[in-house]
Amino acid sequence: MDHLHLAANWADVRRRVDEACRAAGRDPSEVSILPVSKTFDADVVRAAVALGLHRFGENKVQEIRDKSGPLADCGIAWVVIGHLQTNKAKDVARLASEVQSLDRLELAEALHRRLQLEGRRLDVLVQVKTAREESKHGLPPAGLPAFLDHLAAHCDTLRVRGLMTLASHSDDPAEVRACFRQLRELRDAAVARGHDLPRLSMGMSGDFPLAIAEGATEVRIGSAIFGRRPAPANP
């Protein structure tokens, strides 16, 4: 991927996101784009930084470790969007600016302990499982109220800013859209119970217009910006 292609892709994605906002009667300034740089190396990320991007989503902490060294001069905010094992809490507490894949109590407590040691706080989104596929991670929707209450009461290093989900991988737009709608409804219900959850991270390269129609405040875009990922075994 050369720099010209990257610039063209980025402009095209921004234009399509703006278009989806207008189609949904929303102001384009309400929806931000999180570029997902997983599997692309530090040089590609550096080229994206040259376009003015400074937040990047990664699904493996090891990749953040590998890239953050050579890119230390870029002031990048690394966002964890993939399934996290609790033994990665230490690296996350040091390297990540945000975690969008917080999906269970054990992980929240491991992160909270490490963040206390590091003396810092972390923005988090709670990942909820709205898709039926077994392979998808996320907190079961029914567990969300108790989980949010627990975080508010016991994990003050975690600043919960909203919810995240991955929709079903389906050709049926109604099924995909139902996942996004469920996330918004769960957010609205939590807000009614007193939680402050302005952000909804939902939608990827293949389904972001539906997510925007259902209220996404942030779409996570990989392949439409960076091109096809090299290894299918490493999605």
Ligand X SMILES: *Cc1c(COP(=O)(O)O)cnc(C)c1O
Give me the residues that bind ligand X (CB under 6 A), please: 36, 38, 59, 81-82, 166, 204-206, 220-224
15 by Cβ neighbours in 10 Å (0-12 / 13-18 / 19+) ranks as exposed
Residue 156 Cβ, how far from ligand X at the closest point, in Å?
26
Closer by beta carbon to ligand X, 63 or else 111: 63
The CB-nearest residue to ligand X is 222
Quick one: 150 or 169, whose CB is closer to ligand X?
169
Nearer residue to ligand X within complex by CB, 47 or 80 = 80
Measured from the CB of residue 139, what is the shortest distance to ligand X in angstroms?
A: 15
- DSSP for 188-231, written as a single string: HHHHHTT----EEE---TTTHHHHHHTT-SEEEESHHHH-S-S-
Min separation Cβ 166 and ligand X, Å = 6
Q: Which is nearer to ligand X, 120 or 132 (by Cβ)? A: 132
- Smallest CA-to-CA distance from 40 within 15, 57, 54 is with 57
- Quote the least distance from Cβ 108 to ligand X, whole Å: 18
d(CA 167, CA 136): 9
Helix (H, G, I), strand (E, B) or coil at 89: helix
Do the bridges between strand 122-127 and strand 77-80 make them parallel or antiparallel, or are there none, so unpaired? unpaired
